Copies of this chain bind each other. A is one copy, B any other.
C-alpha cells in the first residue's frame, strides 16, 4: 500500500448522521485491546486527550455510573470537562456524558465503539448526540474537528509507544 492510500485510510472522517449528531471515524494502527487501554487508563488519557496541552485527570471511574473529570491546562487558562459513564463494555464500547465547564448544563452523550479490523488495526467510531442542532453546530464551530484531529494524532503516538 502506498503512503497516500495509507494516509487516506487512516484519515479521520467527520459526518452528520442526523441534525443532532456528529460521527467521527478513525482507524488506528494498533490492536483493539491497546486502543481500549488508551481510552480507559488515566495515565494514558493524560498523554493524548489534551492535544499537547497538559491534562490533569481529577477523576476517572471507568464503570457504569462512574464519574470522570479532566482539567486541560491550555495557553488561555484551564478548562474543566466532566461526565459520567453510561456503559463500559471492554474492549468494544464506551458511552459517557460530556460537559464543558464553560457551558454548564449543556450535555452531550458520546458513544465510542472499537472495531477489531483483524489485521492489527482498530476502527474507532465516536458518535455524539446533542439536545439541539444549535448545540451540535456550536461544538463544530468551536473547532471540534481540528481538536479531534490533534488529539487522535497524539493518540497515534501513545499507541506506538505502547507497542
Contact A105 B131 (CB under 8 A): no
Question: Known: A65-B101, A99-B84. Is A131-B109 also a contact (CB below 8 A)?
Answer: yes
Question: Chain A's interface: helix, strand, loop or mixed, by majority?
Answer: loop
Count of chain A residues with Cβ under 8 Å from any Cβ of B?
24
Interface string of A73-100 (1 = CB under 8 A from B): 0000000000111110000000111010
Nearest-Cβ distance from residue A100 to partner chain B, whole angstroms: 10
Cβ of A83: which chain B residues have Cβ within 8 Å of it?
A: 105
Contact A95 B105 (CB under 8 A): yes
Residues of chain A at the chain B interface (Cβ within 8 Å): 20, 64-66, 83-87, 95-97, 99, 101, 103-107, 109, 129-132
